[in-house]
Every structure is written in structure tokens, then in C-alpha cells.
Amino acid sequence: MAEATVVDSRATEQVCDGPVCVTAIHENELARRSGPGERALRLLATLPGAPSRIAEVDHAVSPDEVPPRAGDTVLVDLMTPSLRSATEPDDVTRSLLAGAGTPSCYPAWEETTDAALHERAARTVMAGWFTGEPTPLRGHSVSDVDLRPVLERSWAALRALPDEEQRSRVIAVREAGLTCRGDQLEILTGGTTG
């Protein structure tokens, strides 16, 4: 007979520092996430319909699950590679800005597919759009060296556009990230770097 899993609801309660929240079981992470999270929210606030808070998802996201998403909240799984391996505040901020505050549309096991790599490149370039530099996200199985050529082409294609067009494309990619419809890299670059 299989044993039932009992979840301690207190462990999944949200503990917050301003607009940045984690589950009680990860409360020790809050101080490390709060400042970078607030910075990410300030940068995201320049977009229409921007999220106003960051909250850790209240369950473990399995490797074959597409992470949950919400327009008003940056939902995070602290076990995603880019957050788990973030050692510096800027790494945390960059990870939260990836996808303009949306999680990946691919489950972890699909990380090395072409579609997921396109998305990762777009997410990295979008984080760079907010910070001014497309620094690769940490912790993924595909090396930054392998992804660098497409990042450089994508960054150059986006930055070559007028500011308002860049902003429009970032907004469009955020929408794609919220709905998981469309190739985010194609949307971001107009199909010039695929």
C-alpha cells in the first residue's frame, strides 16, 4: 500500500519582505532575494500591466511541468537553474527579469531542445534590455559558450531598433511568455537571428 504524502500547510505559507515573498520553508532565502527582487520589480514597472510582486510557487515544480505564471506576479521556483545558482544579487535580478518576469514555457527536461534554447536566448536578451547588458543566465546545462553567438546576434538585432520598437517587442515577448504562444526569439528579433 502506498503511503500518502502529507503537506505541512505552514511550510507553504508566504513570508514576505515588501513585495517579495517566499514560502515559509525557504524563509532563509528571503533576505538574499528581497533587494534584487525589488530592483527587478522597479525595472519591470516600466511595462504596461507589469507585475507588482514576486512570489515563490507553493509546490515543487516537477521536471516535466511547465511552471505556473501570472501577469500581476513574478512566480518563481527557487529550484530553477538560474535562481538556484544565482550567487550574486545581480544574478538574482537578471533571473527575475528574464522573460520580462515570466517563467520558461518549457519543462526542465526540454531545456536542450531548439525551441527551449531560442526561448532561453530571448529571456537572456530581455533581461539585458532592462539591465543594459545581455549577461547569460546561470545554471543551465547548455554552456554559455554554445549560446553566445545567438545571444550576440539577438542583442545586436534588438538594440539596432529604435527605443520604442525595442520596448514594443519586449512587451510582445512578455505576452508570449504569459501565454506560451509563439517563438519568443522570433518575436524579439523579428526573425532576424533564428
Secondary structure (DSSP) of 46-97: TSTT---EEEE-SSPPPTTSPPP--SSEEEE-TTSHHHHT--SHHHHHHHHH
Q: Could you give the number of structural domains in the chain?
A: 1
Q: pLDDT digit of tens for each residue in the chain (194 aa)?
A: 555 555 667 877 889 999 999 988 889 889 988 999 999 999 999 999 999 999 988 776 666 777 788 999 998 887 776 666 677 889 889 989 998 999 888 776 566 667 777 888 898 899 999 999 888 776 655 555 567 888 889 999 999 999 999 999 999 999 999 999 989 999 998 876 55
Distance, CA of 124 to CA of 99 (rounded, Å): 7
Answer whether residue 62 is part of any domain.
yes
55 neighbors 76 (Cβ within 8 angstroms): yes
Residue written as grid cell 508566504: 14
80 neighbors 103 (Cβ within 8 angstroms): yes
Question: Which residue, 143, 122, 146, 134, is CA-closest to 194?
Answer: 122
Distance, CA of 52 to CA of 142 (rounded, Å): 31
Answer whether residue 88 is part of any domain.
yes
Partners of residue 22 on adjacent β-strands? 15
Answer whether residue 3 is part of any domain.
no
DSSP state at residue 98:
G
DSSP 23-34: EGGGGGGHHHHH
Distance of CA 93 to the CA centre of its chain: 9
Give this prediction's pTM: 0.86
Q: Which helix (H) or strand (E) holds 16?
A: strand 14-17
96 neighbors 54 (Cβ within 8 angstroms): yes
Q: For the CA atoms of 152, 179, 107, 90, what is the dihedral angle to 10 degrees?
A: 50
Answer whether residue 134 is part of any domain.
yes
Residue written as grid cell 528574464: 98
**Per-residue pLDDT, 7:** 62
Find the domain containing 89 and state its range.
12-189
Question: Which residue, 174, 185, 173, 182, is CA-closest to 149?
Answer: 185
